[in-house]
C-alpha cells in the first residue's frame, strides 16, 4: 500500500512495512502527527483510503456557490445548515456566495456507526421564522434520503416561499425515497465515507479530505 506524506522519511518507512499490525501502528502515529492528505488513514477501528482530495472538494463547492449566487442573489435567502456534518461545507459554501445572506443552524442525528438506522431524531429545532422566506437547507450528504425528507416535511409546515436543498454529497444508489436535491457538489457510490465534516462515530470530522472505507 502506498502512503502519501509530505515527509519523505515517513514515506520511506511506510514503503518498508510488510506486516499489517505494524502498518496499523504506523497509521495511528501518522494520524496523530499529520492529520491530512494521506492515501490511507485509520479512524477508530476502521481503515479508510483517500477518496476526494481537498482541492477537488473546494472546486466543486465553488461551482455550487456560483450556481446559488446566480439563482438567489436577489431572493434574500435563509440558509439552514444541518449540524453536525454540514458545518465545514456550509462554512466554505457561504463565504463563496457573492451576496449578503442569513445563516442559521439545526441539529439532527440519524446514524449510528457506519449504517443508516433510518430513524431521524431532531435535537435542536429551528428558532428563526421561515414563513415567506426563500430557504436553502445545507446538508453534508444524502444517503437513504430519510433525513432530508423529514426536514423538508417539517420546514414546509411553516410555509416558506420556496425551499431548496444544497448537499455536498449525494449517494443516488442508496436512495430509498424519491429526492432530487437542487444543488449537489458531488455524486458518490454508496460507500461509507469520513472527513470534511463527516464522521465515523464522532471521529474524522476535521480531516480536510474525504476518505472512503476500505474493504
Ligand atoms: P440518510 O437519512 O440515510 O439520507 O442519512 C443522512 C445522514 O446520515 C447524513 O446527514 C449524514 O450525517 C449521515 N451519513 C450518511 N452517509 C454517511 C457516510 O457515508 N458517512 C458519514 N455520515 C453519513
Ligand atoms: Mg447530515
Q: How many domains does the chain have?
A: 1
**Average pLDDT value over all residues in the chain:** 85
pLDDT confidence of 113, banded at 50, 70, 90?
A: low
Q: Residue 214 falls within a domain, yes or no?
A: no
Q: Residue 167 falls within a domain, yes or no?
A: yes
Q: Residue 149 falls within a domain, yes or no?
A: yes
For position 126, what pLDDT does the model report? 80
Q: Residue 209 falls within a domain, yes or no?
A: no
Given a cut of 90, is residue 3 above it in pLDDT?
A: no
Contact in structure between 146 and 175 (CB atoms under 8 Å): no
For position 6, what pLDDT does the model report? 37
Of the residues 140, 143, 199, 209, only one is catalytic, namely 143
Q: Which atom of ligand 1 is nearest to the CA of 175?
A: 4
CA of 134 to the centre of ligand 1 (A): 25
Q: Residue 181: give the domain boundaries.
A: 55-189
Q: Where are the alpha helices (DSSP H) in the chain?
A: 8-16, 20-33, 54-72, 87-94, 146-156
Closest listed ligand to the CA of 198: 1
Tell me, yes or no, if 143 is annotated catalytic. Answer: yes
Given a cut of 60, is residue 143 above it in pLDDT?
A: yes
Pocket lined around ligand 1, Cβ cut-off 6 Å: 85, 110-111, 116, 139-147, 192-194, 198
Point out which residues pair with 104 in neighbouring strands.
80
Cα gap 35→81, rounded to integer Å: 25
Q: Residue 19 falls within a domain, yes or no?
A: no
Q: Residue 141 falls within a domain, yes or no?
A: yes
Q: Which of 17-21, 38-42, 126-130 has the highest mean pLDDT?
A: 38-42
Q: Residue 148 falls within a domain, yes or no?
A: yes
Cα gap 161→11, rounded to integer Å: 54
Q: Convert the pLDDT of each residue in 159-200 to its tens digit.
A: 999 999 999 999 999 999 999 999 999 999 999 999 999 999
User: Cβ contacts of residue 33 below 8 Å, gap of 6+?
Assistant: none
- Give the CATH number of the domain where residue 61 resides: 3.40.50.2020
Contact in structure between 119 and 155 (CB atoms under 8 Å): no
Q: Which atom of ligand 1 is nearest to the CA of 140?
A: 10
Distance of CA 148 to the CA centre of its chain: 14
Q: Residue 17 falls within a domain, yes or no?
A: no
Given a cut of 60, is residue 30 above it in pLDDT?
A: no
Q: Convert the pLDDT of each residue in 52-105 to its tens digit.
A: 999 999 999 999 999 999 999 999 999 999 999 999 999 999 999 999 999 999
Amino acid at each position: 500500500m502506498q502512503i502519501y506524506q509530505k515527509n519523505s522519511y515517513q514515506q520511506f518507512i511506510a514503503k518498508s512495512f510488510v506486516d499489517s499490525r505494524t502498518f496499523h501502528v504506523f497509521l495511528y502515529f501518522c494520524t496523530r502527527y499529520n492529520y491530512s492528505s494521506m492515501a490511507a488513514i485509520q479512524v477508530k477501528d476502521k481503515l479508510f483510503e483517500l477518496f476526494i482530495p481537498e482541492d477537488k472538494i473546494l472546486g466543486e463547492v465553488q461551482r455550487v456557490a456560483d450556481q446559488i449566487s446566480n439563482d438567489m442573489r436577489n431572493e434574500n435567502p435563509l440558509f439552514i445548515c444541518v449540524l453536525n456534518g454540514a458545518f465545514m461545507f456550509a462554512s466554505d459554501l457561504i463565504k463563496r456566495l457573492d451576496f449578503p445572506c442569513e445563516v442559521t443552524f439545526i441539529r439532527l442525528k440519524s446514524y449510528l456507526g457506519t449504517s443508516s438506522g433510518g430513524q431521524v431524531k431532531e435535537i435542536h429545532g429551528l428558532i428563526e421564522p421561515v414563513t415567506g422566506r426563500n430557504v436553502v437547507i445545507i446538508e453534508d450528504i444524502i444517503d437513504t434520503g430519510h433525513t432530508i425528507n423529514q426536514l423538508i416535511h417539517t420546514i414546509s409546515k411553516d410555509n416558506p416561499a420556496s425551499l431548496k436543498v444544497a448537499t455536498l454529497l449525494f449517494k443516488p444508489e442508496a436512495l430509498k425515497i424519491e429526492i432530487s436535491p437542487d444543488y449537489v457538489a458531488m455524486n458518490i457510490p454508496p460507500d461509507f465515507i469520513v472527513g470534511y465534516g463527516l464522521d465515523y462515530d464522532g471521529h474524522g470530522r476535521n480531516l480536510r479530505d474525504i476518505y472512503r472505507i476500505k474493504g
